[in-house]
Amino acid sequence: MTHKVITLEFVVPTVIALVLGIALAMCAAYLTDGYLGPVDQAEVQVAGSH
């Protein structure tokens, strides 16, 4: 395989997947905070104790 084919088949999809994953994580955090409100510290402690 040539260097160009390796780049097109492996590097480019990996970069696209990483960018999409980061963008989706940021959108999920933003929407969760916007619609559900910030998480209270008591909720975090209750969830952590189980």
Tens of pLDDT, residue by residue over 8-32, are 899 999 999 999 999 999 998 888 8
- Evaluate whether residue 2 is within a structural domain: no
Q: For residue 34, what pLDDT is reported?
A: 73
Instruction: Measure the CA–CA gap between 44 and 46, rounded to whole angstroms.
Output: 6
pLDDT at 37 over 70: no
Distance of CA 40 to the CA centre of its chain: 22
Q: Is 47 within a domain?
A: no
Query: CA angle 19-17-28, nearest 5°?
Result: 60
44 within domain boundaries = no
In a domain, 31, yes or no: yes
Residue 23 lies in a domain: yes
In a domain, 5, yes or no: no
pLDDT over threshold 60, residue 7: yes
Look at the chain and report how many structural domains it folds into. 1
Work out the mean pLDDT of the chain and round it to a whole number: 80
Question: Is residue 28 included in any domain, yes or no?
Answer: yes
* Confidence label for 2 from pLDDT (cuts 50, 70 and 90): confident
Q: In which domain, by residue range, is 20 found?
A: 13-38
Whether the model clears a pTM of 0.75, i.e. scores above it, the answer is no
